[in-house]
Each structure stands twice: as structure tokens, then as C-alpha cells.
Amino acid sequence: MKKVRDNTKKQTLKRVLAYISKYKLLIIISMIFAAVSSALTLYMPILIGNAIDMIVGKNNVDFNAIGKILFYIGIMIAVNSVIQWFMNTINNRVTFSVVQDIRDEAFAHLQELPLSYIDSHQHGELVSRLIADVDQFADGLLMGFTQLFTGVVTIIGTLAFMLSIDIKITVLVVFLTPLSFFAAKFIASRTYGYFKTQSEIRGSQTALIDEMIGNQKIVQAFSYEDKASERFNEINEKLTKASVKAVFFSSLTNPTTRFINSLIYAAVGLTGALSVIKGGLSVGGLTCFLSYANQYTKPFNEISGVITELQNAISCAARIFELIEEKPQTPDRSTAIRLDNVKGQVTLDDVSFSYVSNKKLIEHFNLSVKNGQRIAVVGPTGCGKTTLINLLMRFYDVNSGVISIDGVAADDITRESLRKNYGMVLQETWIKKGTVRDNITMGKPDADIQEVIAAAKATYAHNFIKRLPNGYDTIISDSNSGLSQGQKQLLCITRIMLSIPPMLILDEATSSIDTRTEKQIQHSFAEMMKGRTSFIVAHRLSTIRSADVILVMKDGNIIEQGTHEQLIEKNGFYANLYNSQFAL
């Protein structure tokens, strides 16, 4: 298990370095600034030591020389401040550019993932990876750039200055200092697992919050508040325990290294004092050396803190890269064609499909639809109606068999052109954040306002749109639009009415609309479906009586098919289903 974890950390670190390598020039400039800043900082103790040596005794102080030294120190502090500002600006630029690249790639990859992946993962957990985990990664990376470069340069520079003052004491410092580094590494190596667990639990917590907020009406309607609170408290308690462990063990690093560094400082002070007594070192030289000893050990404290934060950052990055590395949907074949001038002849030949391999759903399904036919699909819940729609749109690929459009296998058609030839209105509405007009023109962005209004009038949406604060320019969103569910569905229908592709899929398209408006829209649908192949999924069987063919599905198979009159005459499954809706 530890070996697997170490391999994961190494692979994640390699990925991070690959992203950072795009900004080599900025990093080199930052390192140059870090070197200059450290050199200026390290030169100041020498000036201070020289000033101390000019205070020989009472009435024997060289104020002019001390004044010059203080002037130089003031200039160096000012220059150092400017350099550090530029260095921090560059570090911020690199960090957030890397974060932007990772987020862009993760979100772009999310669009390429198969629908099966999205369906099998909690949406809040995916959001947590893209938002919270990336933010945590950014914090660790920024600290790494800010303190790691400066710390390493400071250690190297301090070592050089100490060697120039006293080799023996320098050897003592170098011999003892790695103890703090090893202590920090020992502790940090054990915190990675805790931080990864913390990120995973935080993802589950975000998923629960997203679920409860998105379904608050259902939660309140069924008095689920207490149970929701229990679930949240349970996850929150797990998060608290994981966070306490992660923070506790990571917090041991700093006091441990400080304790070791304090011992080193005391050893240097004692050794240096003995050297001063023997005349091997001046008081100013000892002051300078003690300052260097402190500056030499300080970066080890900072680097140990950085290592701890990097453990958290790498664990968060690992979760992001897990998402990025997920296998995307099967790409279009290199020979795939763009389907134009579609007539609308759809054929399903011996199609079999199941979401789970050991649970069969659709088996050996055959269907032949002529262009311009209206096909209604009915049946009990779970019979495969929505699955059939998913297969027609290639949201899922068939396990076996072939689906063809105008004689061309769906696998040989680009997904984009296939889906553009379908107009789909689902039971679940989706409104993007933007104006009403933006939402209607999603399928036809170049449509002018007159076309939009004509489509809205055809779906009886124009009247309620006019009553909105800014009409077609009113900003709406899926969660905060002020629109009823029925009005949202009218906008979705208007969206299709505007572009009217050669094939239509209406999956409970009028389920949220009142009966009077539904009857009016049915006339618009009838006009829209003329000459177009249409698949209509409906539970209200009164809405599909005029269909050319009604397919009755059960357990993934067609058990009856025909016109409404033919199926009623058969007095079979459909007749019982239809009569049950009108039974007194």
C-alpha cells in the first residue's frame, strides 16, 4: 500500500512539474531575484558586524563610519523590498497560471467523459475536485514558490559566508542542521495519507450539500431535515477527525525543527564565545556568525513547513489528475463522416445494451422507422424508453448491434453532426445563465430577434416573456430565474422550434405544462413534426393517439406495435395501459 502511495506521489509530482515547466523563463527570473534578495540579506550581518567592531569602547566610537554603514543598510533594505515584490508577483503569476491550466484541462476533459462516468459520480464531488482541491493545490504551490526558492538560495549563500568567517564552526553547523531536515521529512512523509483522506471526505461533504440544496423542496416536503443533518454531521465528524490528524501531525514539524535549530544556535554561540576568548574571532564577527547561524537554520523551518503544505497540495493534485486521466468517451473514428441533408430513416438492427454487465436491459432490439414517421414509445417505468433515447443520441454506445441513420451506421457518423440532426426536448429542463434570448438561440446562435419571437409565439411562450422585466433580454438561470417549471419547459420547446432539425425526440416534453397550454402546443408540435422523423415518449397516452406507429415496450423489448386504433382493437397490454388512465 505504501509503495502504491509513493508511486502515486511521484507520478503526481512529475505531472505538476510538467505544468510548471511551461513557465521556465518566469521561474528563472524568480530564482535570480531570490538569489539577489538572499545576497543582500546575507551581506547585512557583515555590515552590522563591522559597525559593532567600530564601537571599541567609551568615547572611542567611529560615528561617521557607522553612519555610512547604516546608510548602505537602508539602501539595501529598500532595494531588497522592491526585489521581493517583483519576485512575489512572478510567483503569483506562475502559480495561478498553472492552476488555470489545470482547471481548463480538467473542465475540458469533463466534457469528453462518457455520460456513464457523470451518471456514476456525485456531481458535488466532481465540483469539489475542480474548485476546492485546485484551491488547496494553489495554496501549497504558492508557498513552495515563495519560500522554497528563497530558502534554498539562503542556505547556500549563508554557508558560503560562514565558511569565509570560521571553517570549524561552519562544519559544526552543517553537521547538526540536517537533523531538523530529517525530522521534518519523517513527519511530512506520514501526513500525505491524512491529507488525501481529508480531500476525499471534503468531496463527499460538498456532494451532500449540493444534493440537499438542489432538492430542498423535497427535503422539506418529506421532513427529511433531521436525517439530512444527521448525514451531514456524520460526514463532518469524519472530516474533523481526518483534519485534526492531518493538521496535528503536520504541526509537529515546525516545533520539532525549531527545537533542533535552537540547540544548534546555542552550540554555535558557545563555540563562538570560546573562539572570541581565545582571540580567534572578534565580537562583531561572533555577532555576524550568530546571525548567519540563525539565517541558515531558519530556511529549514520554512522548507519543512513548505513540505507539509506540499503534501496537502500533492494529495489534492492527485485527485484532480485522477479526473483528468479518466478514460474519455470513445472518440469518433478517423473515417467518421459528417451527416448532412438527413432524410430521417432510422434503423435499429439486433441492438443489445445494458448499463451494468450482469443486469440485462435491451436485448436483440429491432426497429425500422421511415423518414417523416411519428413514433410513440410507451411502456411501464424501467422498460427502456429513456435508454432508447440515450442510444439514438449516442449518449451511450450499444453493446452489440447497429443503429443506422439513412443507412449509415451511427458509429460511422461524427457525434456532433449526429446530435445536430436531432432536436430534443426532455422532461428535465435546463436553463443556462444568460438572457432569455441566449437560452432560445442555443441551437441557432445567428438567429435574429424576429425569428426568436416567431418561435416563442408558436410555443405560446411569447406572452410570459413579454411580462418579464426586460423581455427577451431578462437574465435568467436554472436555479434563480423566477420562472415556473412549465415556463422553463416552454423555453426548451422554443429552443427546438427555432432550429427545427430533421429529427425530433420529445421525452415527456409537455409534462410540466397545464392541459390548456398543452393542447395549444400540440398544434405547434404537429406543424413542427410534419415531414420530420419524430420519437415521442409519453406517459399521458392521450397525447400520442395521432402517432403513425406506437411502440409498446416492456423489459427492453417491443411487445406490441401499431396505430392507436389497432392496439386498442387488440385489447392487449397497451389497451389495458390506456384504459387504466381513464378508468373511473
In SS3 terms, 516-572 reads as HHHHHHHHHHHHHHCCCEEEEECCCHHHHCCCCEEEEEECCEEEEEECHHHHHHHCC
In a domain, 533, yes or no: no
In a domain, residue 508? The reply is: no
Provide φ and ψ at 37, rounded to 5°. Answer: -60, -45
Give the mean pLDDT of the chain: 80
Looking at residue 119, its amino acid is: D
Q: What are the backbone angles phi and psi of residue 14, rounded to the nearest 5°?
A: -60, -40
What CA–CA distance (Å, rounded) separates 156 from 160? 6
Indicate the residue among 324, 357, 388 that finishes a domain.
Answer: 324
314 part of a folded domain: yes
User: Is 13 part of a structural domain of the chain?
Assistant: yes
350 HSE (CA, 13 A, CB side): 2
Identify whether 151 is part of a domain. Answer: no
- The residue ranking higher by pLDDT, 198 or 143, is 198
Q: Which residue has the higher pLDDT, 547 or 480?
A: 547
User: Parallel, antiparallel, or unpaired for β 400-405 and 557-562?
Assistant: unpaired
pLDDT at 402 (0 to 100): 93
Secondary structure class of 401 (helix, strand, coil): strand
The pLDDT-based confidence of 584 (bands split at 50, 70, 90) is very low
List the grid coordinates of 260: 533542533
Rounded to two decimals, the pTM is 0.67
Domain count, the chain: 2
User: Domain boundary at 500, 521, 542, which?
Assistant: 500
Alpha helices in 278-363 (DSSP H): 283-324
Residue 380 lies in a domain: no
Q: Report yes or no: 261 and 180 within 8 Å, Cβ to Cβ.
A: yes
Q: Which of 337-346, 372-381, 509-518 has the lowest mean pLDDT?
A: 509-518
Task: Please name the amino acid found at residue 302.
Answer: E
pLDDT at 543 over 50: yes
The C-alpha atoms of residue 172 and residue 154 are separated, in whole angstroms, by 18
Q: Are residues 118 and 256 in the same domain?
A: yes
> In 3D, which of 163, 150, 152 has the Cα closest to residue 292?
163
pLDDT (average), residues 210-224: 73
Highest mean predicted confidence (pLDDT) among 50-59, 154-163, 458-467: 458-467
Residue 295 CA to residue 314 CA, distance in Å, equals 28
Do residues 9 and 190 make contact, with C-beta atoms less than 8 angstroms apart?
Answer: no
- pLDDT grade for 445, boundaries at 50, 70 and 90: confident
Query: What is the pLDDT, as a whole number, of residue 6?
Result: 55
Q: Above 90 in pLDDT, residue 82?
A: yes
Matching residue, cell 558586524: 49
Domain shared by 315 and 446, yes or no: no
| CATH code, domain with 229 | 1.20.1560.10
The whole-angstrom separation of Cα 112 and Cα 73 is: 58
Alpha helix (H) residue ranges in 459-532: 462-466, 485-499, 515-529
CA neighbor of 192 nearest in space, from 113, 250, 238: 250
User: Would 552 be classed as within a structural domain?
Assistant: no
Looking at the structure, tell me whether residues 169 and 293 fall in a common domain. Answer: yes
Residue 234: pLDDT over 80: yes
Secondary structure (DSSP) of 232-301: HHHHHHHHHHHHHHHHHHHHTHHHHHHHHHHHHHHHHHHHHHHHHHTTSS-HHHHHHHHHHHHHHHHHHH
Check residue 481 and give its pLDDT: 63
Residue 58's pLDDT band (boundaries 50, 70, 90)?
A: low
Mean pLDDT of 127-132: 82
Nearest by Cα to 129 from 215, 190, 196, 211: 196
**Per-residue pLDDT at 3:** 47
**For residue 189, is pLDDT > 70?**
no
More confident: 378 or 540? 378
Sign of the C-alpha dihedral computed for residues 428, 432, 436 and 441 taken in this order = negative
CB burial readout 57-67, b (16+ within 10 A) else e: eeeeeeeeebe
Mark whether 320 and 434 lie in a shared domain.
Answer: no
Tens-place pLDDT, residues 240-249: 888 888 777 7
- The SS3 assignment for 510 reads coil
- pLDDT above 50: residue 310: yes
Q: 266 lies in a domain? A: yes
The whole domain housing 195 covers 2-21+95-144+161-324
**CATH number for the domain harbouring residue 436:** 3.40.50.300
Return the pLDDT at 403: 92
Task: Report the relative pairing of strands 408-409 and 400-405 from DSSP bridges.
Answer: antiparallel
Report the pLDDT value the prediction gives residue 4, as an integer from 0 to 100: 45
Question: Domain end: 469, 500, 531, which one?
Answer: 500
320 & 435 share domain: no
Q: What is the pLDDT of residues 136-153, one digit of tens each?
A: 788 777 777 667 777 777
